[in-house]
């Protein structure tokens, strides 16, 4: 749920290769373009054909360029990245505006869908003015580069990158040490603030040119429903899962208070963000040892097992590949192994954020990930390969249909696969000798909830903040205040109060990759909901009848066929059709989360009896 997949139309402003050259329309294309503006079926067909041909060509170039810029962060790659972004964006904006000319014209379903997708293809709707398009592209690559180069340099001259700071957040139990690391990473934010303000202005201008009120409305319109209905849908799903989150929050706060004291973790107040084991307090699994009941025992330590077996990064990925081949999917191409990045180079800056790439829409799929030999990365690899196999499944669709049913489906597919990394799966692949008894299930569910349930409100907050920034409800004068108000409202998490409040001299949203990286975040919240809905349906297809948290679809061909059928649809149908193909339901449904964690919810309710919950 926390990782991105790359196909250039979905993430603009990334990188370029020396192969880039400016767009040049042929004489025939110049001649055809004015005719495409006529509101006729033939004109719409001509526009779609021309757009798919040109965008596919530019996408492949820009994706390769993005790979280089993300792996070699230098002034030159950023400059060339801006040029590639400018080229693709200019073409996409031009086609989007041409598509808008057909808004009131009656067209066949397939044509109407493709024209709608042309309007919504960009996450960075730059203005059509060439100078402003170029400026938008430069800002996008600059902001991502600032994040990728980010580090904290202490007063003694010691500098720590994000991986080192994450390890401190994970391992330290000193409130003072955690505070230094937490605040240190946020030193990367203030230099982004003015750049981001201008970036928002330009994106809003581009969105208005395409007929939207602002960029946030454009993002929310990309879900086969109007923007207002989508915002309401997010609220509905959140309310379904909020009672489970509230119980987890109450329990964790009480346990942290026992460790750090009432003064640092006061009753009835938000939890200080630096104490939750993660730089963004979006995943609390690293504090499991502090909050687990005294008799908690998962029955095994996957990290220790992997290291004792001397598993390397490549073999970690092989485990993930074998999961998919057990479902009937073809093995990954040799180019995947030749071109992917599995370990962090020590000689250069790069964006280490795990990601899956579809470089040319023609089987050049890759992952980029600085793999650590641990349980978390073992699951993450299964997730990332879910993106790759999904990309390959819809590769035969027309260009505009090469994507997931909605962007939440891409994330959910990977996460649903990761839910099958259960003890029974580990036994079948030889990592465990026997399955632990059900007496250990509570510990397993609690550890899982500290990751997946703790994430849910954060998955709402990031785009809630951006939607309000785009609309002007949150202005540049209160970026940070608005950020922390939303985090307190949804998460019950607050910025540490010492040594000083987080005022407007900070830009804490910039410390989260997806803000400077301009990646919409609602997809991760939807994925957090959909993954359990997918998992419940696939387990039923597989004939599984036990507790949902113990189910693995590994080696089940029927589950694989159901997955393949949904994935192959790509964007060709509205997402409710794809959801129905997999689950038999046409509405997103968070009750599968409640089913999955039911034993934990019962236990939390009993543990919290008599406590003052809420914030």
Closest-CA residue to 55 (of 558, 506, 463, 403): 403
Print the SS3 string covering 36-105: HCCCCHHHHHHHHHHHHHHHHHHHHHHHHHHHHHHHCCCHHHHHHHHHHHHHHHHHHHHHHHHHHCCCCC
Cβ burial, residue 136 (10 Å; 0-12/13-18/19+): buried
CA distances 386 to 111, 351, 567, Å, are 29, 21, 10
Q: Are strands 355-358 and 151-153 parallel, antiparallel or unpaired?
A: unpaired
Structure tokens at 266: 């006061």
Q: How far apart are CA 527 and CA 408, in angstroms?
A: 5
Cβ burial, residue 129 (10 Å; 0-12/13-18/19+): middle
Q: How far apart are CA 385 and CA 378, in angstroms?
A: 11
Structure tokens at 543: 């004939």
Only one residue has tokens 């208005």, namely: 208
Give 292's contacts (C-beta < 8 A, 6+ positions apart): 443, 446, 447
Q: How far apart are CA 514 and CA 120, in angstroms?
A: 19
Give 98's contacts (C-beta < 8 A, 6+ positions apart): 36, 37, 47, 51, 118
Could you give the residue numbers annotated as active site?
A: 353-354, 383-384, 387, 411, 514, 524
Cβ burial, residue 416 (10 Å; 0-12/13-18/19+): buried
CB 88 within 8 A of CB 58: yes
CA distances 90 to 9, 206, 506, Å, are 12, 11, 33
Greatest distance between any 2 Cα atoms in the chain:
77
Q: How far apart are CA 400 and CA 572, in angstroms?
A: 8
Angle at 567 between CA 12 and CA 210, to 5 degrees: 35
């Amino acid at each position: 749920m926390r990782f991105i997949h790359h196909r250039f139309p979905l993430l603009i402003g990334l990188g370029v290769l020396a192969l880039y050259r400016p767009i040049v329309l042929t004489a025939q294309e110049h001649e055809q373009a004015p005719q495409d503006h006529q509101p006729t079926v033939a004109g719409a067909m001509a526009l779609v054909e021309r757009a798919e041909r040109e965008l596919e060509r530019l996408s492949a170039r820009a994706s390769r360029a993005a790979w280089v810029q993300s792996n070699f962060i230098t002034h030159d790659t950023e400059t060339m990245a801006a040029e590639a972004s400018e080229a693709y964006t200019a073409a996409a904006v031009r086609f989007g505006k041409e598509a808008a000319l057909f808004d009131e014209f009656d067209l066949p379903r397939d044509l109407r869908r493709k024209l709608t997708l042309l309007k919504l293809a960009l996450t960075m709707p730059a203005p059509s003015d060439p100078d402003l398009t170029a400026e938008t592209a430069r800002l996008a690559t600059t902001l991502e580069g600032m994040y990728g180069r980010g580090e904290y340099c202490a007063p003694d001259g010691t500098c720590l990158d994000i991986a080192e700071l994450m390890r401190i957040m994970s391992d330290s139990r000193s409130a003072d040490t955690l505070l230094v690391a937490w605040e240190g990473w946020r030193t990367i934010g203030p230099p982004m603030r003015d750049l981001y303000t201008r970036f928002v202005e330009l994106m809003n201008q581009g969105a208005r040119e395409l007929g939207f009120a602002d960029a946030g409305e454009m993002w929310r319109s990309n879900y086969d429903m109007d923007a207002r209905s989508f915002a309401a849908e997010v609220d509905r799903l959140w309310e379904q899962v909020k009672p489970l989150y509230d119980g987890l929050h109450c329990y964790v706060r009480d346990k942290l208070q026992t460790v750090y004291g009432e003064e640092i973790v006061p009753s009835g107040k938000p939890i200080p963000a630096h104490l939750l084991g993660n730089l963004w307090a979006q995943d609390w699994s690293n504090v499991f040892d502090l909050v687990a009941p005294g008799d908690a025992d998962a029955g095994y330590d996957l990290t220790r097992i992997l290291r004792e077996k001397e598993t390397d990064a490549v073999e970690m990925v092989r485990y993930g590949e074998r999961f998919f081949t057990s479902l009937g999917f073809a093995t990954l191409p040799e180019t995947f192994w030749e071109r992917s990045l599995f370990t962090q180079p020590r000689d250069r800056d790069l964006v280490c954020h795990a990601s899956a790439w579809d470089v040319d829409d023609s089987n050049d799929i890759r992952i980029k990930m600085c793999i650590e030999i641990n349980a978390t990365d073992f699951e993450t690899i299964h997730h990332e390969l879910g993106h790759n196999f999904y990309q390959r499944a819809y590769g035969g669709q027309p260009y505009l249909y090469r994507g997931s049913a909605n962007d939440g489906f891409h994330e959910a597919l990977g996460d649903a696969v990761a839910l099958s990394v259960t003890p029974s799966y580990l036994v079948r692949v030889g990592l465990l000798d026997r399955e632990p008894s059900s007496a250990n299930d509570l510990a397993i569910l609690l550890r899982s909830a500290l990751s997946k349930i703790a994430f849910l409100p954060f998955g709402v907050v990031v785009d809630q903040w951006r939607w309000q920034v785009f609309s002007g409800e949150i202005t540049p004068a209160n970026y940070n205040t608005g950020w922390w108000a939303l985090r307190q409202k949804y998460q019950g998490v607050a910025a540490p109060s010492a040594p000083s409040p987080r005022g407007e001299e900070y830009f804490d949203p910039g410390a989260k990759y997806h803000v400077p990286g301009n990646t919409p975040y609602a997809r991760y919240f939807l994925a957090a909901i959909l993954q359990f809905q997918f998992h419940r349906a696939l387990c039923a297809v597989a004939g599984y009848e036990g507790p949902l948290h113990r189910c693995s679809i590994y080696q089940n061909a029927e589950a694989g066929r159901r997955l393949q059928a949904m994935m192959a649809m790509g964007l060709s149908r509205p997402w409710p059709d794809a959801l129905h193909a997999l689950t038999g339901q046409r509405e997103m449904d968070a009750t599968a989360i409640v089913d999955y964690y039911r034993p934990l919810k019962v236990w939390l309710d009993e543990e919290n009896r008599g406590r003052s919950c809420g914030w």
